[in-house]
Copies of this chain bind each other. A is one copy, B any other.
Amino acid sequence: MNARKISDSTVRRLSRYLRQLRDLDQHDRKVVSSRELAQATGTTAAQVRKDLSHFGSFGKRGQGYPVSDLRVQLEEILGLTHRWNVAVLGVGKIGSALLGYGYFAQRGFDIVAAYDADPAKTGLDLGGVRVQPLDALERGFADLEISIGIIATPPEAAQAAATRAVRAGASAILNFAPIKLDLPPGVALRTMDMTLELEGLCYMVTAARGDGEVGR
């Protein structure tokens, strides 16, 4: 078990499986087949089995997978057995929306700090978190054991903010700024680029005209 290199797309699917499993578990379903899991998450049964097989053998032939056990296993694999402390850097439109976004806490992510370069924002209480000046970042990351930084600054400030967060101890960055971030190796990075996605949609719509089909 425990294979070497698991692809990004596999990890994403694992997350989706977990989401579905939590739901099934809450409804007291005991067992689920790869087929059903696949249908609910938009993939194929074979893909589900391959994905899981990278980490072990969790199912029973002829029966399926035990919902509760598999849920726990996936939580362990994904590193979700404990809660994670998160900081938001940049409290503009996006940043403050994230501070009020309830689903993070529900899924084990606690936003415990918020920082902004604008002194006018210092002290603001947003969703129970008080906005602090950037200079409080190092102390905050250390004291609160923050391991994930969410970059929600304007693009110009994003690189500096990310670098600073990493130096202060962040081991992962979720970036909402529409730029490429350079981070030291060993730091995990995911970028959510909204205009990029919108442009992707435009391509699909435009390319579909005259053509037959459009993406999945």
Contact = CB atoms under 8 A, between A and B. Distances in A.
Identical copies of this chain, number: 2
A33 to B, nearest CB: 18
A37 to B, nearest CB: 12
Contacts of A12: 196, 200
Interface residues of A, number: 63
A161 to B, nearest CB: 16
Nearest to A10: B203
A136 interface: no
A139 interface: no
7 contacts: A18-B199, A80-B199, A93-B98, A107-B199, A172-B202, A174-B194, A192-B194
- Listed from nearest, the 5 A-B pairs whose CB atoms lie closest are A79-B206, A97-B97, A188-B204, A172-B201, A79-B202
